[in-house]
Chain A
Amino acid sequence: MSDLPPDLDAGDAQPADAGRGERPEETGALHEALDGLRDELRSRFSTAAAGFDWMSFYDSLRRRFASAGMRSLPAEVDDFGMDAGALERARPWLDALYTRWWRVELAGVEHVPRGRPSLFVANHSGLLPWDGLMICHALARSGSLAERPRFLVADWLLTLPFAQPILTRLGGVRACRENAERLLRGGHSVVAFPEGAKGAAKVFRQRYRVQRFGRGGVVRTAIAARAPLVPVAVVGAEEVHPVLFKVETAARAVGLPFVPVTPTFPALGPFGLVPLPSKWWIGIGEPIATHELEVDAADDEILVWRLTEQLRAAVQTLVDAGLRQRPSIWG
């Protein structure tokens, strides 16, 4: 918008002498001259072409063209706050994490449903959403989806300073049914972690045991949006922050659900937040189709519960398969 000439935005719906004193020195003289010219034109034209208000005609044209110029400016963020520019800038970092740090191996890309938005359902681990970022990055790199999927993020992460803008720009969306349904209906794929806080709160000896999938909201969402459910297993992510035990009382004071104690975290301060370079394996399983079900099947509790359990079992099976094929944590 900086290429508009300065006279295009001068004098919009304000009396001629309002705000004249606030102008910067160098443009003040120019504005004086322009205002003078405009007054001159106004007096001439009103006598020359009686009955036609040239100034209001000019104003309406100006408004129309100014607005047309603005409409063509590229949108920097989409409705959910994902920023293509920020993703482009973050790509080298994400690539480095993907290929160098965790040496991610992706299996089962052929199962990704083509041409329709799907709901990816994965096992969750850790308070920081590394798994969501990496699944999205893996799917975006594989080229099996038309557009980068979004990952759902727990509420409390969005209350933290800096986490909120960074995660939003990289495609994180607050985890709730309204958002997931809206994204799927809008043609975007979504990565969900229905274990939620129970998954994030797993300590090291509970790793790779997939917890209860909430109350079946993920299945209800998929049925309502007619999106296939795709089970995804992430093996390796549950070792990046091995939680030895959790401190809950002190955590309430800072607003966290708990403070995890890892071999490095409170001891090394912020450096303890650097994730360990384990070897990752991301496996994608057979999708569970929901589009043949009626939309009101979302209210059928038995069906929803059965599908949820089927989905959880599928994720657990995939996780077990991934665990069996890896030689060690460090690959």
Chain B
Amino acid sequence: MSAPGTVAITGLRSFVGQRLAERLTARGRGVRVLGIDLRRPYRLERRIPFERVDLTDPAANARLAEIFERERVEAVVHAAFRRDPSPDVEGDHELETIGTLHLLHACTAAKVPRLVVASSTMLYGPRPDNPNFLGEAHPLRGHPDAHCVRNRVEVEALVREWGRRRPDAEVTVLRHAWIMGPSYWDHVVRHFESPLVSTLLGYDPLLQFVHEEDCLDAFEQAVLDRHPGVYNVVAPGALPLSTLLRLAGKRNLPLPAGLLYRIRDLASRAQTGDPPAGFYDYLRYLWVADGERGWNAFGEPAYTTREAWIAFVSARRMRRYR
């Protein structure tokens, strides 16, 4: 089997879910998309069939299995994850870890032959003892303070275990770097959007992004063709944080690590929706992934890290005109 007949996408309202659904329906090659989420996204109204399933519901696995069998789903894209860290630790665990468990049970029951899971290179964790380029085989050490990262590490462990028990199923895990582009928005983008970006005094790590279109290209190919395995989905090249800010014409506010962590910790405790203080470790240590394997499988990305950043910057009109 190469191109599947019906593709189910969990988390239709997520960026990957919605844009992938648009792309697959626009192809007109007989790929049918079935959306699964809590609410229908406005833009996809009536264009694709939609099922409302709550992944935190204990009966979600039976309901999903019933949908998959009825619609003869041949590939599942799992993207029902939180885009931003939320203060609801238990709710996130239920949705991300237990929700994945329900989905995997449903895939077993309905004998779904292909599963594509959205993951992130953030799971490698920012560590001073990381090699400069993290390969797919590197252990996922996550981040001790960020429950959203911890959940996703658990999700990957569940998916790996499931893939081992189901050798006939093709499991693709795509770990993408921070997404940048004209239309993407999340807490990372929000951090970089402000004209005064707070950074850590004395630290200037290399950062890596992926352009939203390149990321979606990889997902599209993973759904349409056989690509079992784990892949880093990243743009070539890495730039120091200071260079990125200079390209964007932004000022940075360097703060000593101890002070910055304390301030951000207050913000996240006040449940303003800010990421936990541990987020700043990602602007402190190295966590650049090696994209070689992904580029060989899905083709060279159209945008380098620098170009993805400039696409984001010029779209947001953050640049000061000179």
Interface residues of A (CB under 8 A from B): 1-2, 6, 8-10, 12-14, 19, 22-24, 27, 66-67, 70-71, 73, 75-77, 79-81, 83, 155-156, 158-165, 168, 173-174, 176, 178-179, 182
Contacts and interface: CB of A to CB of B under 8 A. Distances in A.
11 contacts: A1-B310, A9-B317, A13-B315, A14-B315, A24-B321, A27-B321, A67-B303, A75-B237, A79-B237, A161-B201, A161-B256
A6 B321 contact: yes
Given A1-B310, A9-B314, A67-B303, A174 B129 contact: yes
Interface stretch (B36-44, B104-112, B239-247): B239-247
Nearest to A173: B132
Interface residues of B, number: 41
Contacts of B314: 8-9, 12, 66
A77 B315 contact: no
Given A12-B315, A155-B128, A161 B240 contact: no
Interface of B: 128-133, 135, 182-183, 200-206, 237-240, 242-243, 247, 249, 256-257, 285-286, 302-304, 306-307, 310-311, 314-315, 317, 319, 321-322
Nearest to A71: B307
- Smallest CB-CB A-B distances: 4 pairs: A161-B202, A9-B314, A178-B131, A165-B204
Nearest to B318: A22
Contacts of B237: 75, 79
Contact of A67 (B130, B135, B307): B307
B247 A1 contact: yes
A9 B247 CA distance: 14
A24 B317 CA distance: 10
A75 B247 CA distance: 12
B262 to A, nearest CB: 16
Nearest to B254: A161
B310 A70 contact: yes
A234 B247 CA distance: 41
B295 to A, nearest CB: 14
A9 B129 contact: no
Contact of A174 (B131, B239, B306, B317): B131
A156 B203 contact: no
A12 B242 CA distance: 25
A81 B206 contact: yes
Interface centre among B204, B317, B319 (most CB of A within 10 A): B317
Contacts of B311: 12
Contacts of B243: 76-77
B306 A9 contact: no
B200 A70 contact: no
Contacts of A165: 202-204, 240, 242
Nearest to A79: B238
A227 B155 CA distance: 41
A168 B286 CA distance: 11
A14 B317 CA distance: 11
B255 to A, nearest CB: 11
Contact of B132 (A14, A22, A67, A80): A80
Contacts of A6: 321
A13 B183 contact: yes
Nearest to A161: B202
Given A2-B322, A27-B321, A162 B128 contact: no
Contacts of A24: 321
Contact of A79 (B132, B204, B310): B132
Contacts of B321: 6, 24, 27
Given A79-B238, A162-B202, A70 B307 contact: yes
A164 B132 contact: no
A9 B315 contact: yes
A75 to B, nearest CB: 7
Contacts of B130: 174
B317 A10 contact: yes
Contact of A164 (B133, B202, B319): B202
A186 to B, nearest CB: 11
A279 B151 CA distance: 56
A178 B306 contact: no
A158 B128 contact: yes
B241 to A, nearest CB: 9
A141 B315 CA distance: 45
A176 B131 contact: yes
B183 to A, nearest CB: 5
A1 B248 CA distance: 9
Nearest to B288: A79
Contacts of B201: 161
Nearest to A31: B317
B247 A164 contact: no
Contacts of A2: 249, 322
Contacts of B285: 158-159
A22 B193 CA distance: 13
B210 to A, nearest CB: 15
